[in-house]
Chains A and B, each alone.
Chain A
Amino acid sequence: MDISIEGVSKSFGETTALESVDLRVPSGRLVTLLGASGCGKTTLLRIVAGFETADTGSVRFGERDLARVPVWKRRIGFVFQSYALWPHMTVAENVAYGLRLRKLPKQEIAAKVAAGLAMVGLTGREQRRPGQLSGGQQQRVALARALALEPDVLLMDEPLSNLDAKLRIEMRREIRRIQQETGITAVYVTHDQDEALEISDLVAVMNGGRVEQIGAPEDVYDRPETTFVASFVGTVTLLKGEVTADGGLALGGGATVALGRPPGPPGAVVNVALRPEDLRLVDAGAQFTGTVVRSSFQGSGRESVAELPGGEHVTFEHRRPLATGATVGLVADRFTVVERDTGLA
């Protein structure tokens, strides 16, 4: 079942949380809403769920317009950041609650609860209370509870942000596996770009109540459409300058760099995004020359920052150690011209 969001706006008093948001989530896909806190991603998710009402615009699941459909009739599963397990019910009761509301036969409920808990790897914990489980286990229960009713869509609001780093990685793979096994349409809210890139079919990057770009993780990473997206998703060097007559880029600091091909028609002001892995250290024929101001070891490689004569900082990846203060030459194997300047993350 696909989800279409059209022209949704929402304000709380004076503050505008969402400004005419359009978004389509194709059936069976997982879309992440990625953005910093306050960008409106949670509000959008809550409007889809029905916890909030949009001021304008519409939300549809398939052909069904949800404007007059309250939360409890929308057939959603929702996973909360705070787990929101009912402390007075056992694990099994938490999962079974929605099934009981549907007045399903006892055996069927028991079977579904068992299957749900098996799916999240919690068989044998049925009679525990949520208070006796770890955070990761609690979130698994929440997931089983959300999926027990076989809802049309699964909505997740930063489900992993209360977990520690290692568990987070484990759980997001788990969530992706379960989503793909069940083939459910899912919307996943996060502020963690790694999480978003790893688990999504589509990433919607939000900023200031708008969706800045929506696309496959690769697209969002490799072909950011706005400077905000470029800077929010992964590490990036953004160089702003005017295209010179010979196809170089005149930077604000005074230096001009040749990028191999012109980033635009002469005279145009453009933003060029360079990923660290796109830059290569060279001994001769450098496009950029700068001084190393920072260098850090990251296991698989090193990431360093060079300062160009005009003061711009360029981040690049390399393998052999570099001392700060050393002069380095760099070549960009590829670069992206970012269409719109929407500021930095």
Chain B
Amino acid sequence: MAVRSRSRSSRANWRDPWRLAGLLALLVLLIFIVYPQLWIVTAAFTSDTGEFTLDRFAAFAADDRFTAPLVHSVVVSLAVAAGAALVAVPLAFVMARYRVPGREAVLTLLTMATTSPPFLGAYAWLLLLGSGGIVTKAAREAGVPLPFDSILGVGGIIWVGVWFTFALIFLMVYDAFRAVDPALEEAALSVGSTPWRAHWKVTLPLAVPAIVTGCYLAGMRIFADFGTPMLIGGGYQMLPVVVYQNFMSEVAASPGVAATASIVMVLVSGLALVAQRRIVARRSFAVTGGREQPLRELRGLPRALTLGGIWTALLLGFVPHLVVVLTSFLRWQSGILQWEPTLDNYRRLFEESLQPIVLSFVFAGIACLLALVTGVVVAYIVARKRFRISGPLLNNLVMVPYILPGTVFAIGFILAFNHLPVILTGTALIIVVAYFIRRLPYVMKSIETALAQVHPSLEEAAMSVGAPPRRSFRDVVVPIIRPAVISGGTVGFLQMITELSATVMLYAVPWVTMTVVIFTNAMQPGSPFGVASAMTTVLLVSVYVPLYLLRRRYNIRSI
């Protein structure tokens, strides 16, 4: 009797369409994440003579050339996450609760600020705050003391990191603050709590999942970034740089060492993921379809401070963009900026084919759709289903590409897809798949955060009135998470269209993207940076204009 019923209930489980969807998603991840990147595992556990060994890990742990960068990376990532949260959380709170003039514009700008001009972003800060930078020099000449000589160094990495990531945290936390049922705060007030106490004890804890997820994404972005430390670290060793150097060094590449360090990175970020999951899982749901937050008025000094804070943060977030746009109208000679206005950069750019603009949009567009579909499936399974094997597998696998340097990731792709049964190298498809897989983590995380705020009873209610799961998902879940899906998809798209490090390793003529053009014109110290700046400006404009229109179209109702 017992046995029969058990098999019956498991058969009922198999009818669940999510199980099939989950298996399909798992298959995709196995083919495009595990299979291509398996070589890293192999390299890390094989000695130079080809035998299984753990020596590389022992050597890693014993050598301060590796442990010091590891500690640096962890500390810097935590510092950046904390700093970005300190900027983002108060801003998000004020924006979620008070009537702020230009709200829609600010929100759109913040979405835009989640992407930095590829390749040139950190240069911009150097140009301003380096030892010979514009601001540094001006301050020196005006006799204004600065707390630093140059942005170069660990402080610079953190500074750039904070302004590079705070918008990510903001977007997640803002949605959460908006979603907190005002009744909960009113309840706290009614039992004699002061408003600030109520915020501290009620509102903030409810936003913790979003804050933690935002911090996690921000921290991981820095943890995996090798471009910024390489450019403005001034020799401050961070783990991604070590990995990169050991994979790609022209003098003495040691893939075994690099693979070992990569696996350590994956482990560390796995720990971070566990922590993030723990904290998010412990929290209850913020929304059950309660009331909307009313926006309150702000007057006088608080209003001035709020506006000042928001626009200062935005300005700092957009420093790279502004500098790049400005310098695209100046003459560069052998990589050195001349203070002469010119349109020459654009003339040279438009002499060449404009096909990269179209290709970038096509690649990122398709990849973004793929990421959205897969992201929704994975996020839904992770957030809702108690699948014992595929659930945790999906959740952990999907994050792997977030940590691997793009170049390393691309090497795996070439190794895996340059031979039968699947040949993708040299095609445009490999770029699309690479974008899709590399940026899936972000898309998936933002959908997961949104789903965590949709109480499961909303779907059960739909089923109880006769809607099959697919229908209830479509009619209930999708409309509720749509704003988050759109904003997650948008940020994902932005990150795809600005993807460079994997593209450079994978592209083949004629599949040249905008980032490749930018990179080609800025790759060497003496390269024509002006053309790169001009292409970046074209990229930013061509991405931001549709983004602005999209936000206008979709977000008015949700605000």
A residues in contact (CB < 8 Å) with B:
49-51, 53-58, 67-68, 70-73, 76-78, 80-88, 97-98, 101-102, 129-133, 135, 138, 142, 145-146, 148-149, 155
Contact = CB atoms under 8 A, between A and B. Distances in A.
B463 interface: yes
Nearest to B13: A53
A129 B558 CA distance: 13
Interface stretch (B3-11, B269-277, B543-551): B3-11
Interface string B5-24: 11011001101000000000
Contacts of A55: 2, 5-6, 9
B455 interface: yes
Contact of B464 (A56, A68, A76, A130): A76
Interface in B68-93: none
Contacts of B12: 53, 68, 70
Contact of B291 (A73, A81, A132, A148): A132
23 contacts: A50-B463, A53-B12, A53-B13, A54-B5, A67-B5, A68-B8, A70-B15, A72-B471, A72-B472, A78-B461, A80-B460, A82-B289, A84-B455, A84-B461, A85-B289, A87-B289, A97-B465, A98-B465, A101-B465, A101-B467, A145-B461, A146-B464, A149-B465
B281 to A, nearest CB: 15
A130 B5 contact: no
A130 B181 CA distance: 12
A82 B8 contact: no
A135 B464 CA distance: 21
Nearest to B15: A70
B468 A86 contact: no
A72 B471 CA distance: 10
Interface residues of B, number: 35
Contact of A72 (B13, B290, B291, B463): B463
B464 A131 contact: no
Interface in B455-475: 455, 457-458, 460-469, 471-472, 475
A58 B2 CA distance: 11
Contacts of A131: 289-292
Contacts of B464: 49, 71-72, 76-78, 146, 155
A78 B458 CA distance: 11
B323 interface: no
Contacts of A149: 465-466
B322 interface: no
A83 B479 CA distance: 18
The interface residues of chain B, by DSSP majority, are classed as: helix
Interface of B: 1-2, 5-6, 8-9, 12-13, 15, 183, 287-292, 455, 457-458, 460-469, 471-472, 475-476, 479-480
Contacts of A50: 463
Nearest to B5: A56
Contact of B468 (A70, A98, A135): A70
A98 B472 CA distance: 11
A53 B462 CA distance: 18
The interface centre, meaning the residue of A81, A86, A131, A133 with most chain B CB atoms within 10 A of its CB, is A86
A144 to B, nearest CB: 11
Nearest to A71: B463
A98 B465 CA distance: 5
The interface centre, meaning the residue of B15, B466, B475 with most chain A CB atoms within 10 A of its CB, is B466
A149 B463 CA distance: 12
Given A56-B6, A132-B291, A86 B466 contact: no
Contacts of B455: 82, 84
Contacts of B289: 82-87, 130-131, 138
A244 to B, nearest CB: 47
A97 B12 CA distance: 26
Nearest to B3: A56
Contacts of A129: 292
Contact of B9 (A54, A138, A146, A155): A54
B463 A86 contact: no
A135 B183 contact: yes
Contacts of B13: 53
Given A97-B475, A101-B466, A53 B460 contact: no
Given A78-B460, A78-B461, A102 B291 contact: no
Contacts of A85: 289, 461
A155 B463 CA distance: 13
Given A67-B8, A68-B8, A86 B465 contact: no
